[in-house]
Structure formats: C-alpha cells, structure tokens
Amino acid sequence: MKLSNVLVTAVLAAFPVAGICFSGTETRAYGEISVKHTPEKYDSLLSKWYESTVIESYDRFLQEFINIDPEETVPSEAERIPDSVYEARLRMIASVIQLPYNDVVRQYILAYTGRLKGRMQNILGLAQYYFPLIEEELDKEGLPSELKMLPIIESALYPKAVSRAGAAGLWQFMLRTGKNFGLEVNSFVDERMDPLLSTRAACQYLKQLYAIYEDWTLVIAAYNCGPGNVNKALKRVPDARTYWDIYDYLPRETRGYIPGFIAATYAYTFHKAHGMEPVVPPHPISTDTVTVRKLMHFEQISSTLGIPVEVLRDLNPQFKRDIIPGTDKAYSLVLPQQDISAFIDREAEIYGKDSLYLKEYLNPANFTARKSSGSGNRLTASRTYKVKKNDVLGSIARRYGVTVNALMRANNIRNPRSLRIGQVLRIP
C-alpha cells in the first residue's frame, strides 16, 4: 500500500469524451461516447487517447496530490474563502472518522478545489461508477462509508494502478497481502485489480487494523505506511491516541495521507460549491455481470456483440491478457447492461469462436498447468512484433500482457510516440 516510488497509468487528465465519434457500420452508445463500431479502429484511436492524454507518472500524482507544496496553493483574492467556512462545512459532514480543520488540511483543500480541480473532476466522474460498489461492500462489513475515499488517494480510482514496489489496483495491495486475503494472481488474472474482489479484501484488512488501533485515523495511516511504521511512531509518543499525535514521526507520504483523505472528502461533498462537475468516465456506468465457465477471449465477445475491446478491458481490468481463464473455475465478467441479454442469447456463438482467438490455449491440461506455474508470459505466438499503421505502445503492451515501460526498456525506446511502421519490437 506504500505510495512512494510509484508509477501508474492513471485516468487523471481531463478529456472531452462526449465529442468522440468513430466511423463504421454499427452505432452504439457507451457512456457519452457515440461509437459507430469498427473494433480495430476504435481500439487504435482509444489507445492513442490513452497514450497522449491519460498515461501519467504516479510519482507526479504523488507529488501534486499527496505531497502538497503550500506555496503553490495560495488562492487569489477573488478565490479566498474564510477558514470558518471550511471548518463549518467539515463539521456538516456526518462522519465517525475525525475530519478536523487545520493549516495542513487547509492547504490540501485549497489544492484540490483550486489548481488540481481538473484532476478532481475526473475522479468525481470515476466515483460515479466505483463508489456505489465500494459503499455496498463497506456497508456489508459494518465499516464507515467515508472509507470509500481511500482509493482516491491510493490509486486515483484507477483499478490498473501498479506501483514500482508491486502494489496494484484501486486499493494498492502488495502481492503477498493480496494473496493472504484470497486474491488470485497469476499469468492471466490479477484480482488485486478486480474492483469488487479487491474492495472485499480491503474491507477485511481495514477491520483487522481497526481491531488493533480502535481509531480510524490510525487505521488509515497504517493502511498507507504499514502497522510497523505506525507502531514505531506510537512508541515515540506514549500517550498518543490519534494520527495527529504522531504526525511528526510518520513517513512523509503518510503525513500527507490523512490531510489528503480529509480534503478529498471535502471536495467530493462540496464540489458544486467550487464549480466542479464530474467528467464522464471512459466506460459505461450502468453494468451487470455474467458468469464465464470456459476459456474465452475478449475478441470473441467483441466480434459477436460489437462491444469495443477497450470497454471490456476497462470493465474487467483483472484479466491481464484479454483472456478469461475459465478452465478450472468460474469467473465474473462485467458487461454494459445494454449487452447482457445479447450475451446470454448468443453465448453459444461466442464460445464457438474459441478456435479463432485461442488456438494456442485450447488444450485445457496444458493451459491449466501453465496458468498455475506462472509461465503464461511464454504463451504468445511470437516474441517479436512488427509495428503496423496506427499502432501505439499501449495497445501492443496490452496485447502481450506486458507494461509500456517494459517494452520501452527492452527496445531502448525513450519516446513512446516515436514508433515507426515496420519497426520490429522485442517482447520482453
């Protein structure tokens, strides 16, 4: 869960989604995107969008969103709001978690409602999709609903967030921690990126931490930097009862974590008072799930139902290679609600396309053995790739289940936009 030295592709940059329209034969509506569906063209254009406007360093997010520089948060005279207003608004929020107002919190509120307003508006848009899911799980476990704000400062509500230290998903689980809470991680699936399953795991972890500290500010701090760091800080201040008592003895990122949590809660609750409106997320908000009990590739669904592969990836980030490995267990597949009936009606047709997209995986015994041994990275048909027209590194990386950074390192690429048609890339 540690935030330092983190690199993630995060949906943080504002983008006029509603204006996108693609040419083709079949018109479908996904969120506010009007798609005349040509799958390969949609995939290429959307990948370019991710490359040019969305892929960002989480180090930068950490620096701007968590390690706030007070000198950069000074509002203009026209934007000044009395401290008493902020303080009164925080008191209006019904919360079992302490939400005090002080100079540190003030700097974060000024940043989130000022120069980082664009980023917050993107997060507000993603919250429309993820918060109902998170709130339901928190409610089932009897946990405060305010804890839904944690993924904002862990991952910017981006389920594919991956840290250099190996933490992944909305809740930034490390591999061992995720497996300890029952999350499957192998060559084809990473349930740390499954919004629902990772939220359930996070709820169990938060309950364990509360049993130790019995104070939510300490729980949130421990979730970020680990119980060991919190315990060391508590030893330095024997009479400490809350996060603020040990503030000076915590890691730098964690010193910004609770103020960030409070400011995110404030900005979410009072966003309209600051002229903020949610940016429409890049995938449908209205979804439902079906159960898949066989091996299936996203292209089988896309080519049959006309759902862009990028939409399937966004709704099912846990499947690392566009493959649902349903050979020995069932998996849940999230689809736009408007396509659920069509999937059920044409399920046999979808499964019947397995030989088109899964030739190298169709021996169940070999597939299961490779899946469990973690050798899925050797299952691709080729270890090199020749760049075609409209290719971008993001789409190539997703095709082979590797990261953009890994591709760049393997091919000594410094500028991700410098690909040439015909260039041969080595797949790490």
Chain centroid to Cα 350, Å, comes to: 28
Q: What pLDDT tens digit does each residue of the chain (428 aa) get?
A: 543 333 333 333 332 232 223 223 333 444 333 333 333 433 444 444 333 333 344 555 555 667 676 666 666 555 689 999 999 999 999 999 999 999 999 999 999 999 889 889 999 999 999 999 999 999 999 999 999 999 999 988 989 888 767 889 999 999 999 999 999 999 899 999 999 999 999 999 999 999 999 999 999 999 999 999 999 999 999 899 899 999 999 998 889 899 999 999 999 999 999 999 999 887 889 999 999 999 999 999 999 999 999 999 999 999 999 999 988 889 999 999 999 999 999 999 999 998 888 877 766 555 555 565 544 443 333 467 888 877 788 778 767 767 777 788 788 887 777 788 888 888 88
The answer to whether 9 and 158 have CB atoms below 8 angstroms apart is yes
Q: For residue 364, what pLDDT is reported? A: 56
Chain centroid to Cα 358, Å, comes to: 27
Q: For residue 85, what pLDDT is reported? A: 96
Q: Which residues contact 313 (CB under 8 A, 6 or more apart)?
A: 298, 319, 322, 398
Which residues are tagged catalytic?
154
Q: For residue 20, what pLDDT is reported? A: 28
Angle, alpha carbons 243-135-164 (nearest 5°): 60
Do β-strands 384-386 and 331-336 pair in parallel, antiparallel, or remain unpaired?
A: unpaired
Torsion angle of the four alpha carbons 380, 382, 384, 390, in this order, in degrees rounded to the nearest 10: -70
**Hey, what domains does the chain have and what are their CATH numbers?**
58-274 (1.10.530.10), 287-371 (no CATH), 380-428 (3.10.350.10)
Residue 5 to residue 421: CA distance in whole angstroms = 34
Chain centroid to Cα 28, Å, comes to: 25
Residue 184 to residue 169: CA distance in whole angstroms = 13
Residue 119 to residue 267: CA distance in whole angstroms = 11
* Strand runs labelled E in 21-69: 21-22, 26-30, 33-37
Q: pLDDT digit string (tens) for 313-346?
A: 999 999 999 999 988 889 999 999 999 999 999 9
Residue 371 to residue 378: CA distance in whole angstroms = 11
Name residue 332's beta-bridge partners.
291
Name residue 384's beta-bridge partners.
426
Cβ-based neighbour number of residue 337 at 10 Å: 13
Q: pLDDT digit string (tens) for 247-257?
A: 999 998 889 89
Among residues 161, 166, 136, 164, which one has the least CA distance to residue 148? 136
Please report, in angstroms and rounded to a whole number, the separation of the first and last CA atoms in the chain.
Answer: 27
Q: For residue 88, what pLDDT is reported? A: 97
Among residues 210, 220, 88, 214, which one has the least CA distance to residue 149? 220
Residue 23 to residue 40: CA distance in whole angstroms = 11
Do β-strands 21-22 and 384-386 pair in parallel, antiparallel, or remain unpaired?
A: unpaired
Locus of tokens 């000024």: 110
Residue 386 to residue 99: CA distance in whole angstroms = 54
Among residues 412, 400, 394, which one has the least CA distance to residue 54? 394
Torsion angle of the four alpha carbons 294, 298, 302, 303, in this order, in degrees rounded to the nearest 10: -70
